[in-house]
């Protein structure tokens, strides 16, 4: 039996891949157990965090974005650039890189 959600997706020539779907909960009872969510007879898993368009979202009392994840990616990229700039032995390039970041 199809649901309105599945019917609307079919109207848009789309279909659900339940292996890639997940449910994340927000609100005061975000950690409480609730009924299973199914699409086309397949159960969707509940998760505590997920990545959406490159942003890490965590289940919590209110909608929350995990800044630590983004900061970690930023520092990894910066350290890689800084390391490669240091090999050039060009102080001007290094200073440009530092001033752009600040």
- pLDDT tens per residue, range 23-35: 889 888 888 888 8
**pTM recorded for the entire structure:** 0.56
Q: Tell me: pLDDT of 50 over 80.
A: yes
Q: How far apart are CA 24 and CA 32, in angstroms?
A: 12
Q: Tell me: pLDDT of 102 over 70.
A: no
Q: How far apart are CA 75 and CA 54, in angstroms?
A: 16
Q: Structural domain boundaries of the chain?
A: 1-62, 66-102
Q: How far apart are CA 102 and CA 85, in angstroms?
A: 17
Q: Given this model, what pLDDT does residue 13 score?
A: 92
Q: Given this model, what pLDDT does residue 4 score?
A: 83
Q: How far apart are CA 63 and CA 48, in angstroms?
A: 12
Q: Given this model, what pLDDT does residue 1 score?
A: 56
pLDDT digits (tens, 9 = 90+) for 56-67: 888 888 887 878
């Amino acid at each position: 039996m199809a649901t309105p959600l599945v019917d609307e997706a079919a109207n848009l020539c789309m279909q659900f891949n339940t292996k890639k779907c997940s449910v994340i909960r927000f609100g005061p009872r975000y950690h409480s157990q609730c009924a299973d969510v199914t699409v086309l007879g397949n159960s969707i898993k509940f998760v505590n965090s997920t990545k959406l368009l490159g942003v890490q979202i965590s289940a919590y009392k209110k909608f929350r974005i995990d800044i630590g994840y983004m900061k970690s990616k930023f520092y990894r990229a910066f350290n890689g650039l800084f390391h490669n700039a240091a090999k050039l032995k060009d102080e001007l390039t290094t200073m440009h890189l530092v001033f752009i970041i600040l």
